[in-house]
Structure 1
């Protein structure tokens, strides 16, 4: 059934959490650790071009300078970043847990969403989608992914999956040329932008010469 092959990115698709979820949790973590760092809305939009929270912080500190409280050696800095990311994730999960749960129930999303949000999730988005297909016992080429970013689109395509893009506030100007379809949002009944039948039609196209 297509319902089992339909994979949703969470941030920016099911819940628009980047600006008011992840960014806030990063800032709360920086504040807790007294690092003197704040990511405003525009800056965070630029940082989102870097995939991964740990990679995002590392790139930012490499460019702007490391906080005084940060260790000096490369290995210790990796541990420092990992500890910041762990705390940020704890704060984010506490902030968003109720919203994600209610959204997943409303959209009838597969349990894979909860799995992908868990502590054992893969680091790379492509690996996550491949893992999701394997967990569901389906062929990646029979899956349709709903994403909101160019990074997510590239990952879905690298995993040999069809990809629908629903733009979010931070990704509206990104390049989605390789997407199978692009919409401004998923929409709510009776004004939804696409449905299961539309997703199924994308899979049928791959068999047309």
Structure 2
């Protein structure tokens, strides 16, 4: 039986990916990097730090990783604050409220930084519904490493087999399964090109899910 639900944030609760994409590619241009959309897609679900660690190694960047991360987050922050049309994804708030009313503890496990999580949770007033927020910047390796999900389960006081993860990235699904958790893949229009076949099942709309349905699920 599922006793807690762990949400990813970008691409599940809110579509900040276009803002991240814009910030990254503005930074790539500053650095003189020609990164294809295909290569960029392989980074989805990874932390910004891990992404720049890979880029530094593969492209011989001279800047320190923390400097690269700082600049990208600066560019993202400008885009986020300037954007007045950003909304939660369809069905996201309804599902959060349904689970909350059912007494289901909710956790967040996002590769985003604490700063970005705070921006999103403050703008959309999500703090009252989540018990814990775990950021990928606190781990040396990001998804597909399962550490972030195992930490969320630890904070929730739940064994992995009683945790359910909702993810939209291939790296996130792999991490959830490696953690021994039930995983629902969310294939939306904002996460095209992601291989979610390792999820226990996949939905195309969060409205397909309910608290009653989720509570009855369990790891095979």
Structure 2 equivalent of residue 198 of structure 1: 213
Change (3 A) 1:198 1:129: same
Measure the CA separation in 2 of the matches of 1:27 and 1:185: 29
Deviation for aligned residue 1:109: 4.2
How do 1:105-116 and structure 2 match up within 5 A? 105=126, 109-113=129-133, 115-116=134-135
Change (3 A) 1:90 1:121: farther
Matching residue within 19, 22, 28 for 2:20:
22
- Which ranges of structure 1 fall in alignment gaps of 5 or more residues? 72-76, 187-191
Deviation for aligned residue 1:150: 1.3
Structure 2 equivalent of residue 189 of structure 1: none
**1:23-81 deviations in Å (ceiling 9; x for gaps):** 222234456xx423476xxx345322133434434545666x55xxx43xxxxx5xx23
Asked if 2 retains the 8 angstrom alpha-carbon contact of 1:15 and 1:100, the reply is: no
TM-score (norm: length of structure 2) = 0.66
**1:68-126 deviations in Å (ceiling 9; x for gaps):** xx43xxxxx5xx233201332344356255444344629x641423x427x53563231
- Matching of residue 101 in structure 1 with residue 122 in structure 2: yes
Q: Which has the higher strand share?
A: 2
CA RMSD of aligned residues (A): 3.2
Measure the CA separation in 2 of the matches of 1:153 and 1:143: 13
Matching residue within 21, 36, 44 for 2:32:
36
Q: Which has the higher helix share?
A: 1
Change (3 A) 1:92 1:120: farther
Structure 2 equivalent of residue 53 of structure 1: 48
How do 1:162-201 and structure 2 match up within 5 A? 162-169=182-189, 171-186=191-206, 192-201=207-216
How do 1:140-159 and structure 2 match up within 5 A? 140-159=160-179
Asked if 2 retains the 8 angstrom alpha-carbon contact of 1:8 and 1:147, the reply is: yes
- Higher relative contact order at CA 8 Å, sep ≥6: structure 1 or structure 2? 2
TM-score (norm: length of structure 1) = 0.69
Asked if 2 retains the 8 angstrom alpha-carbon contact of 1:57 and 1:81, the reply is: yes
TM superposition outliers: structure 1 runs of 4+ over 6 Å: none
